[in-house]
Each structure stands twice: as structure tokens, then as C-alpha cells.
Amino acid sequence: MECVFGLVGNDFAVVAADTSAVHSILVHKSNEDKIMILDSHKLIAASGESGDRVQFTEYIQKNVALYQFRNGIPLTTAAAANFTRGELATALRKNPYFVNILLAGYDKETGPSLYYIDYIATLHKVDKGAFGYGSYFSLAMMDRHYHSGMTVEEAIDLVDKCIMEIRSRLVVAPPNFVIKIVDKDGAREYAWRESVKDATVASA
């Protein structure tokens, strides 16, 4: 089951997601990146139905870029979160997207923020959030160890604690995770935590 979680630190926000693409009992690949870089200072970590996940996040990404082209300035994280919620809410009673989203962003005026948006378009600004079966473990770990104003080292340490907990206690624990961070210098990949490496295909 897909595990996505994230938290807000001192002047950054970090999100982590598992990287396995699964269909019933088969693992298609274990290096699927589920955290999309929405724009220079926003990350969208999505979990749920794979087709909906890719299509919906790309749709949001392109619309956020369109806003920037049309208006010359980027959307704030709050605006992007509300736009995403609006799209999910409009589609909810017609053709719902089964995608749960954690939207992390950094704004110059307001600092880092994390938004919890579930698949039925419930929006809430949070300090720490998680989706999936892994959330039972990661939320508990974060409730215990999180405090506001954590440094990057402390936050990554907490993320690693959550990953260890998921790996040891979840029966269908995903083997690999990707961690991405967003701060004043932008959104970027921070690290991978791999315990199973995909075999490389020999070239023809």
C-alpha cells in the first residue's frame, strides 16, 4: 500500500513517498517517483490510483505553469492548494479522482507550509501529515518526535525513523522511498532510501 508523509520544519518542508508501482500482487517497478515538482518552490506528493495520480498531478502542474505565464508571478502555496481542492471537488460528483495529495511549498512572505488534500477534496493546512497504511506508523512517530522549528538534520532523522517503522511493522512494506525537500532555494530531491535496487536492463 502506498505510503506518503511529510512535515514542516524551520524554514523548509519535507515530503517522503514510497517508490513502488504495484498492480494487485505484482510489483511493476520500485523506483517510481511519486513526488512531482509542481514549480520552483512547490512539491506535490500523491498517492492513490496510478492513472489518476499521474494525470491529475500533471494537470495541476500545467495549470500552475499557465497561471505563471499569464500573470507573470507564481501562485502562492495556499492558492495552489485551493486550486487543487477546487478541481477535486468539481470532479467529485461527476468523475472523481482517487488521489490523495500532500502539497508542500515555500513562500517568501509566509515561509514553508504543508497542505493535506484527500481524495474527496478535504483541504487542511497541517504541520505533519500522512496517507495510506503507512500513516498509522508515520503519524505516530511524528506525533512523538515532531516539534516546531526542526532543523533539516532533525527532520530527515525523523523521516528515517518513520521509514524504519514502516519497513519493520507494515506487512506489505514498500522497500524504497524518495525524500524531497522545499525551502527558500527551491524544490529538489534530497535523497533516496533504497533497500532493493531494480536490476538494470542490459542494452541490446
Residue 135 within binding range of another protein, rule CB under 8 A: yes
* Cβ atoms of 128 and 16 closer than 8 Å: no
**Nearer Cβ to another protein (66/120):** 120
Nearest-angstrom CA–CA distance, 67 and 131: 29
Which residues, in sequence order, are bridge partners of residue 42? 39, 105
What residues numbered 15-34 form the site for another protein, per CB under 8 A?
A: none
* Cβ atoms of 157 and 147 closer than 8 Å: no
Which residues, in sequence order, are bridge partners of residue 187? 182
Query: Nearest approach, Cβ of 124 to another protein (angstroms)?
Result: 5
Grid cell for residue 122: 478535504
Of 1, 22, 54, 126, the residue at the interface with another protein (CB under 8 A) is 126
Per-residue x/- track, 92-111, another protein (CB under 8 A): xx------------------
Grid cell for residue 34: 511519486
Residue 118 within binding range of another protein, rule CB under 8 A: yes
Q: How far is CA 58 from CA 34, 144, 174, 176, in A?
A: 11, 35, 24, 23
Residue 166 within binding range of another protein, rule CB under 8 A: no
Of 17, 44, 80, 123, the residue at the interface with another protein (CB under 8 A) is 123
Question: Could you list the residues that contact another protein (CB under 8 A)?
Answer: 85, 89, 92-93, 116, 118, 120-124, 126, 129, 135-136, 139
